[in-house]
Structure 1
Amino acid sequence: MTLTVVGVDGGSLPPGAASAIAAAELVVGAARHLASVAVPASAERVELGPVEPAMAALTGRRAVVLASGDPGFFGIVRLLREHGHEPVVLPARSSVQVFFARLGRSWDDVAVVSAHGRALGPAVNVCRARPAVAVLTAPGAGPAEIGAALDGWPRTLVVAEDLGGTGERLTTLPAAEAAARDWDPLTVVLSLRDPDAVPARGWMAGGEPVPPPGGWALPDAAFEHRAGMVTKAEVRALALARLAPRPGELVWDVGAGSGSVAVECARLGAAVLAVERRADDTARVAANATAHGVEVRVVAGAAPAALAGLAQPDAVFVGGGGPEVVAAVAAAGPARVVVALAALDRIAPSRALLQDAGYRVEGVQLAASRLAELPDGAVRLAATNPVTILWGTR
């Protein structure tokens, strides 16, 4: 028996859809989709709520599933195939296509993420990290919630309500204002760092890929720093491996100094908060982020007090501060914590604090020696200061 998935775009249907619906024994869809098409009187109608009963009803019958836009784009096609079906797909225009057509804007530079039936946090973190992001929303994960979560990040939202419907409306406003309004449940949201920026010309949809050209664990000289106060490349390489920064996650860099770890995490696609107490170093963090073409939100203040109220992290690097900072970081509950320690007397307390907080703790001492040229052209080994790295995972 044939299972056909029909994309519905407002009141219009793609070619072949009407005949598939007319021949169907069963038509499945949301109430608004069932109301928008001519379902034959002989066909059973199943309104989508819980999906499992609908999946069971499809087996062995000539059926049509109605879905919004392109059902293969964050849509029901994946779920159907996971249940063993091999549907014929008749797509309409996706809501994202329609949205950008209304705006008259190209969108190959835009990352597209979904918070529909998924956690909102990863979608918001992509908005925090990237200059242009389209979000497919859901009740409880819509413009108001996205606007609230972007507090502290300068973002403009373009909200498209009821695209293709009678209540279609496009609204542009600061993210903070979106948090205070009520919205239609059917929305697509565009988050923009700079609404006046010309879309970047690239070669890969969604913006530049990560990791970026040049790799990671960049040379120390790639960062402006204060008298050598920069996390050395060898330490950064291990820290990045244990932090595992990636798109959809938020990383804190606590005691950021030059911000080298923060910048590297941002280059790997994560959203990043850098916490630093020195005013001159906060300026360096911002300058280093700008120099490397990434965004790092800088929080001026001393940890642990400055950590209060910050967005929930997925991973945290502690590059400065004593055990009280480690304790506050562990209390924030990230999945991964990395602590860099030069002082030996802080190793045991930091390890114990992480273990008491439920982390499995491992560690290593790094003592790297770099090649250094002598005046006659020969080379010697120049030792860097040893650093102990602890990492805790949950």
Structure 2
Amino acid sequence: MITVIGFDGGPLPEPARAALASATLVAGGRRHLDAAEVPHAAERIVLGALDALYAALPSHENVCVIASGDPGFFGIVRQLREYGLEINVLPAPSSVATAFAAIGLSWDDAIVVSAHGRELRPVANVCRAFPKVAVLTGPGAGARELGAELPDRTFVVAQRLGHPDQRIETLSSHAAAHAEFADPHVLLCLDESRLTSERGWIAGFGGVPGTWALPESDFAHRASMITKSEVRALALSRLAPRPGRLVWDIGAGSGSVGVECARFGAAVVAVERDAESCDRIRANAATHGVAVEVVTADAALALDRLPQPDAVFVGGGGVDVIAACAATRAATVVVALAAIERVPEAISLLTKSDRAVDGVLLQSSRLSALPGDAHRFAAANPVFLLWGERR
């Protein structure tokens, strides 16, 4: 039997002390082994890779593994179970719970992500999309690196939680990009303009929205200059928005595509050159309770300074814009066109960027009332929807 002990820097409870006292092998991080009351006769293994622990297990009956906080929360429990070991877990409060408690903030509505040993981009995208995010950091993927990636956010950086030299700092994401922090630390990334006191019933991300491809009436727009719901439905299926992904909405107009992507949990950057339209995008995002970063600029001049996307929707812009979007690392680029003359050129640009290209002509007719309780189907303007997927 292996006993996994959660350690938060304070005195261990009696069951943990009893398990540790009888252990003949104790494994953990160096700071955990130094802080806990490890029997003098017990073999010690400083954990890095788990190979040394697995190799030593056959020689011992009573084994303890010491880990930070709750070992079942982004911790070692999963790895030990996957190896087929029988374990008994004695958890302490997780570092995330301890960090939120330190600033007196509830966290049932927080998203929790781990950057430890993982790519930073998806973590940054979750921080863009959600107002309350806890990040379990690692070397090279902490508050400093995330501060350089993110727009204005409030960072709470909790270092050495539970230890006598515990330190909790509150600073802007921009200030964090130029600061130094002890590893590992817990980062709380807050968009204070969107924090709410509303009580929910499900923890973290609530999942996909109940409806999508919303009617045009759900968005403020100018003179019907909006991507119609039928087109949006297919575009969303190709863009595949979800937490951890970043979507560009280029030539965003009302921002309806970007807002819908944000409702699925994606981070969104909308680029639109008309200042009045940008105000509408912000208003539409606020109405639907999502974050959309709005860039007021000509897309041809702005794209090279945006964070790299995972998917792109091009609703407006010329040949140069389509070419620039096709050249990004995005897995999928979706282009909506009204003029048939632009279709061959768009296909060529997507193909030249080593993308597999497909598309449809969307022609829809909507039910429309006539006098005398009669109805007809009124044809909407056709739209060409192309998509190029990175090979």
User: What letter matches 1:320 in structure 2?
Assistant: G
Counterpart of 2:120 in structure 1 is 120
Structure 2 residue matching 1:10: 3-state secondary structure:
coil
* C-alpha distance in structure 1 between counterparts of 2:193 and 2:291, whole Å: 16
Match of 2:173 among 162, 170, 175: 175
Counterpart of 2:267 in structure 1 is 271
Question: 1:71-82, aligned counterparts within 5 Å?
Answer: 71-82=71-82
Counterpart of 2:48 in structure 1 is 49
Q: Report whether the alignment pairs 1:225 with 2:224.
A: no
User: What letter matches 1:7 in structure 2?
Assistant: G
Q: Report whether the alignment pairs 1:34 with 2:24.
A: no
Percent identical pairs in the alignment equals: 57
Residue 383 of structure 1 and its aligned partner are, at CA, apart by 0.8
Checking the alignment, whether the CA contact within 8 Å between 1:340 and 1:390 is kept in structure 2 is yes
Counterpart of 1:374 in structure 2 is 370
User: What letter matches 1:75 in structure 2?
Assistant: G
Checking the alignment, whether the CA contact within 8 Å between 2:100 and 2:107 is kept in structure 1 is yes
Counterpart of 1:302 in structure 2 is 298
* Structure 1: runs of 5+ lacking an equivalent: none
Q: Report whether the alignment pairs 1:210 with 2:207.
A: yes
* C-alpha distance in structure 2 between counterparts of 1:248 and 1:196, whole Å: 19
Q: Report whether the alignment pairs 1:238 with 2:234.
A: yes
Counterpart of 1:331 in structure 2 is 327
Q: Name the count of aligned residue pairs.
A: 389
Checking the alignment, whether the CA contact within 8 Å between 2:132 and 2:195 is kept in structure 1 is no
* C-alpha distance in structure 2 between counterparts of 1:306 and 1:60, whole Å: 62
- Cα deviation, 1:101-138, whole Å, max 9, x if unaligned, reads 21122211211111112222222111111111111111
Counterpart of 2:17 in structure 1 is 18
* C-alpha distance in structure 1 between counterparts of 2:14 and 2:351, whole Å: 61
Counterpart of 1:365 in structure 2 is 361
Q: Which moved more, 1:197-206 or 1:273-282?
A: 197-206
Question: 1:186-205, aligned counterparts within 5 Å?
Answer: 186-194=184-192, 197-205=195-203
* C-alpha distance in structure 2 between counterparts of 1:192 and 1:19, whole Å: 40
* Structure 2: runs of 5+ lacking an equivalent: none
Counterpart of 1:383 in structure 2 is 379
Residue 323 of structure 1 and its aligned partner are, at CA, apart by 2.6
Residue 380 of structure 1 and its aligned partner are, at CA, apart by 0.7
Normalised by the length of structure 1, the TM-score is 0.95
Counterpart of 1:90 in structure 2 is 90
* C-alpha distance in structure 2 between counterparts of 1:179 and 1:282, whole Å: 28
Question: 1:143-154, aligned counterparts within 5 Å?
Answer: 143-150=143-150, 153-154=151-152
Checking the alignment, whether the CA contact within 8 Å between 1:109 and 1:199 is kept in structure 2 is no
Q: Report whether the alignment pairs 1:5 with 2:1.
A: no
Q: Which moved more, 1:216-225 or 1:318-327?
A: 318-327
Counterpart of 2:139 in structure 1 is 139
User: What letter matches 1:388 in structure 2?
Assistant: F
Superposed CA RMSD: 1.6
Checking the alignment, whether the CA contact within 8 Å between 2:139 and 2:183 is kept in structure 1 is yes
Counterpart of 2:252 in structure 1 is 256
Q: Which moved more, 1:56-65 or 1:333-342?
A: 56-65
User: What letter matches 1:222 in structure 2?
Assistant: D
* C-alpha distance in structure 1 between counterparts of 2:58 and 2:357, whole Å: 50
* C-alpha distance in structure 2 between counterparts of 1:60 and 1:312, whole Å: 51
Question: 1:320-359, aligned counterparts within 5 Å?
Answer: 320-359=316-355
Normalised by the length of structure 2, the TM-score is 0.95
Q: For residues 56 and 356 of structure 1, do their structure 2 counterparts lie closer, same or farther at Cα, with a shift above 3 Å needed?
A: farther
Q: For residues 11 and 170 of structure 1, do their structure 2 counterparts lie closer, same or farther at Cα, with a shift above 3 Å needed?
A: same
Checking the alignment, whether the CA contact within 8 Å between 1:367 and 1:385 is kept in structure 2 is yes
* C-alpha distance in structure 2 between counterparts of 1:390 and 1:296, whole Å: 24
Checking the alignment, whether the CA contact within 8 Å between 1:14 and 1:90 is kept in structure 2 is no
- Cα deviation, 1:203-238, whole Å, max 9, x if unaligned, reads 11125x13234x100001111111111000000000
- Cα deviation, 1:139-167, whole Å, max 9, x if unaligned, reads 111111111111xx231111111111122
Residue 196 of structure 1 and its aligned partner are, at CA, apart by 9.5
- Cα deviation, 1:152-198, whole Å, max 9, x if unaligned, reads x2311111111111221111111100111011113111111117955
Q: Report whether the alignment pairs 1:166 with 2:151.
A: no
Residue 249 of structure 1 and its aligned partner are, at CA, apart by 1.1
* C-alpha distance in structure 2 between counterparts of 1:195 and 1:285, whole Å: 16
